[in-house]
Chains A and B, each alone.
Chain A
């Protein structure tokens, strides 16, 4: 019985403390399949998307079986269709040592609302357009 009571107490305290404590910045890991259903992009960011600061992310690309691919070209673009504007910056992708993983520099958002972030990847075999849509 004592154990049950303690459990209830601890659980209640945790629930209560959750109401007032500020949560630590959470990383943002998200994957998306391309519109041609050929490739996938995997975003791995240090923080959730928010307005203001630069968002530090890497992105990697795989086929649908999860095998890394190294596209010949990668284009990055994004924006807010409802407001008719693109990204406030011009992000740049840099190849990292790990095959198929790229660092994204210069990515930021300037308004709350619905955003798109897209990658157009081209290999010698195929093209695909992978679009993440999210709300800030």
Chain B
């Protein structure tokens, strides 16, 4: 009988603990209603704490302190441009979340696409809006040779690095002094693509010198990438809210207001479906989607597939530090043009309210216009499903999106 009573008591204690736990959960629950366990899992999946250190197997110098120091200097050095007026920081401005606030990037000339922010960019699988580069170091090389950006050239980069005593010393300390092209015999303005004169000058170089220049060029990109890898995602009010949820503190309700919580609920709901693509700690699924923004003027990912496949600076190329089995994204990328036509990379939403304008071509100046795009978009020939939001829904979503912006 005593044992029976003990059993009943034990069950009652367990039930009490369970009820107390549920009560505590409800007390902690934010907003107008408690989060369901599924909603909580989804919200927690967006936490920065889920991010491992950024890794790039193709760049063994990504976390090298000396490479970071060299990359920092190169990033802000305007001598890496034809007119001496453009550095990486000209468009990736530190005071603007490493973006520029312009519709289209402007270097030596008007560019083609909007400048993305660089915070957390090292976590990307693909780079540029169309993913025509598969590593951060390889991406960093393209603007240097682009006539609309730095309009420098491959041999001009090599001449600057080898001709500047400080850069030369820093470079050789990191990458060694083997395979350094001879400064005296190096053509001033040569690269394998560009003007006819640049291409002819490149072809006139001895093969060994071309390889030396390519090696130095790739290493320059690896140093730049080492610096950009240090630009980590910034802690936001939304991250504070998730941490408060996780730490079981009861003061989390004050971190997001009622409207922001309604926006969060919409964000993760099937109704707004933002979470379908803006998922994970960086609020991007790292994938390419046709949301009706591309088309006749810009086929997006479809035009980038062969470029990244044939790129000598890709993950499988001779300047990559990755073994081939670490190049899964490149090896198994979707290569069907009709599937990728008009698709662009899902951008991160971190700092979104302070990094306007939006979309690959910077067509929208306000988040309200972006939301209007989704509710008005045609679903045929795109990856979108029907999204219906009323005016209040949109205001709530925008309120939530502002919580994803960090103080700089």
Contacts and interface: CB of A to CB of B under 8 A. Distances in A.
Given A85-B290, A85-B383, A88-B288, A106 B328 contact: yes
Contacts of A111: 276-277, 285, 287
B80 to A, nearest CB: 35
Nearest to B338: A86
How big is chain A's contact interface, by range? 20 to 34
A118 interface: no
Interface string A11-36: 01100100000000000000000000
Interface in B102-153: none
Contact of A84 (B3, B14, B328, B383): B383
B336 interface: yes
Interface in B1-28: 1, 3-4, 6-7, 10-11, 14, 17-18
Contacts of A51: 279, 285
A106 B332 contact: yes
A103 to B, nearest CB: 13
A96 interface: no
Interface residues of B, number: 36
The SS class assigned to the A binding surface is: mixed
A65 B183 CA distance: 73
Interface string A73-105: 000000000111111111110000000000001
A66 interface: no
A5 B7 CA distance: 5
B289 A85 contact: yes
Interface in B372-393: 379-385
A67 interface: no
A2 interface: yes
A9 interface: yes
Contacts of B6: 5
A112 to B, nearest CB: 6
Contacts of B193: none
B383 A8 contact: no
B168 to A, nearest CB: 42
A59 to B, nearest CB: 16
B7 A8 contact: yes
A113 B381 CA distance: 19
A5 B328 contact: no
B14 A91 contact: no
B332 A105 contact: yes
B44 to A, nearest CB: 11
Interface of A: 1-2, 4-5, 8-9, 12-13, 16, 51-52, 54, 82-92, 105-106, 110-113
Given A2-B3, A84-B382, A85-B290, 12 more contacts: A1-B4, A1-B7, A5-B3, A5-B4, A12-B11, A13-B14, A16-B14, A52-B279, A85-B289, A106-B331, A110-B286, A113-B276
8 contacts: A16-B17, A52-B285, A85-B290, A88-B288, A110-B277, A110-B287, A111-B285, A112-B279
